[in-house]
């Protein structure tokens, strides 16, 4: 049941990200809800679990984009790995650490995505514009992290209370 809930959550975040989130742009950046969800999953469940769901969410994003399969999955994997490394070495109950991890993972995600687009010959923004967008997206995603973390912890506690079917 927990896997089904996470899969539904990721599908919802990806669909909202590709449809409504661009309308919520601030300083040219809009929230990366799939990345925020993957960071919350990684923070609460561990790096392996987070990286597995990063692949799923990345492929969902790749399927909704004009480009090839793989760049979003690779970028989300970088964010999940960085978050997992961070969570493994710091206090998991703190809200500040996941917020900072969200900002750092957004920068890693964006860097990998721009690098992948450049290698694949896809258009990439100029360096100054890219840095501005990464900074704005990092702040935006970091601001959303406490809400995502609370939702993920609630999902975990509800799944732990339910008895497993025999």
3-state secondary structure of 30: coil
User: 20-29 contacts: CB < 8 A, separation 24 or more?
Assistant: 26/136, 26/140, 27/132, 27/133, 27/136, 28/129, 28/132, 28/133, 28/136, 29/133, 29/134, 29/136, 29/137, 29/140
Which residue range is the domain that position 120 belongs to?
A: 2-161
Domain count of the fold of the chain: 1
Decide if 166 is inside a domain. Answer: no
Note the pLDDT of residue 163.
63
CATH code where residue 73 lies: 1.10.1760.20
pLDDT tens-digit profile, the chain (166 residues): 578 888 998 999 999 999 998 888 888 888 999 999 999 999 988 899 999 999 999 999 999 998 899 999 999 999 999 999 888 877 767 789 999 999 999 999 999 999 999 999 999 999 999 999 999 999 999 999 999 988 888 877 777 776 655 5
Note the pLDDT of residue 66.
87
């Amino acid at each position: 049941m927990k896997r089904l809930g996470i899969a539904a959550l990721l599908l919802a975040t990806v669909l909202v990200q590709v449809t409504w989130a661009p309308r919520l742009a601030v300083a040219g950046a809009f929230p990366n809800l799939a990345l925020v969800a993957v960071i919350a999953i990684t923070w609460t469940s561990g790096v392996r679990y987070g990286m597995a769901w990063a692949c799923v969410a990345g492929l969902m994003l790749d399927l909704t984009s004009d480009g090839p399969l793989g760049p979003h999955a690779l970028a989300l994997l970088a964010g999940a790995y960085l978050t997992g490394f961070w969570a493994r070495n710091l206090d998991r109950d703190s809200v500040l650490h996941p917020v900072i991890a969200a900002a750092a993972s957004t920068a890693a995600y964006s860097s990998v995505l721009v690098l992948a687009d450049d290698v694949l010959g896809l258009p990439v923004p100029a360096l100054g514009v890219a840095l501005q967008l990464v900074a704005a997206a990092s702040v935006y995603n970091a601001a959303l992290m406490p809400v995502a973390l609370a939702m993920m912890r609630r999902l975990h506690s509800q799944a732990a209370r339910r008895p497993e079917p025999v």
